[in-house]
Structure 1
Amino acid sequence: MKYTTTSIVISGCSTAEPVEINSCSGNCGTSSMYSAEANTMMHYCSCCQEATTSQKEVELICPDGSKVKHSYIHVESCGCHVTDCDAGTTATPGTTRQRGRRR
C-alpha cells in the first residue's frame, strides 16, 4: 500500500491540513498456460486493488471563509483480486511470432 499526504480541494474549498490518501499498487500474479484437456490457452489474471475501505469525513474551508463537510473513501488494506484477462491480447493459434536466428 502506498501512503500519500495531500490536501483535498473541491470547487475551490480545501482541507486546512493535508490528509492521508492511501492507494494500492504492486505486482499480482498472472499466467497463461496451455490446457491439453480444453485444447486452448488458460489465462489467470489478478490485479492489486483495495480489500477494505472506510468512509472518512473532513472539513473543507472555502475562500469566502465558509466551511463544508466532505467524505471520502479511505483505503485500509490492499490485496490481489482475480479479474478477467483482456481477451484482446491473446494471439490466435498459429500466429505466434518466433524469433529468427542471427547468422
Structure 2
Amino acid sequence: PADACELDGNGRPIEAASLFALREGFQHPVIDQFLGFARKHQLEVAGFEFIETMDGRIVTYDVNTNTNYNPDVETVAPKSGPVEIAKYLQRVQAEAFALA
C-alpha cells in the first residue's frame, strides 16, 4: 500500500514521513492528458501518480484502477475518495436498473 512501501528485515512496514501530499487547487495541463488517457482506455475510476521535477516537469509513474488508499491524504482531503467512489457506483447501478 501507498503508506507502507518500505519494509524492515522482518517484512514489517517502516514508519516514515509520508511521500504523498494533497495539493489544494492543483491545476496543470497534464490533468487534461490524464482525462484523455482515461477516456481512451475506458477507465471510469482511476488515480494517476506523478512527481514534479525541480524544473517543473510532470513525470507520471503509475495509473491505479484499484485502491491505493493513503490515510495521510484522506485526512486532509475535502472529500473522502472511497465515499465518492461508492456514490459513483451507486449512480451507475441505479442507471443500469433504470435501463433494464
Asked if TM exceeds 0.5, the reply is: no
Normalised by the shorter chain, which TM-score bucket?
under 0.3
Higher helix share: 2
Q: TM-score, normalised by structure 1?
A: 0.26
Higher strand share: 1
Q: TM-score, normalised by structure 2?
A: 0.27
Question: Considering only CA atoms, is the larger Rg found in Structure 1 or Structure 2?
Answer: 1
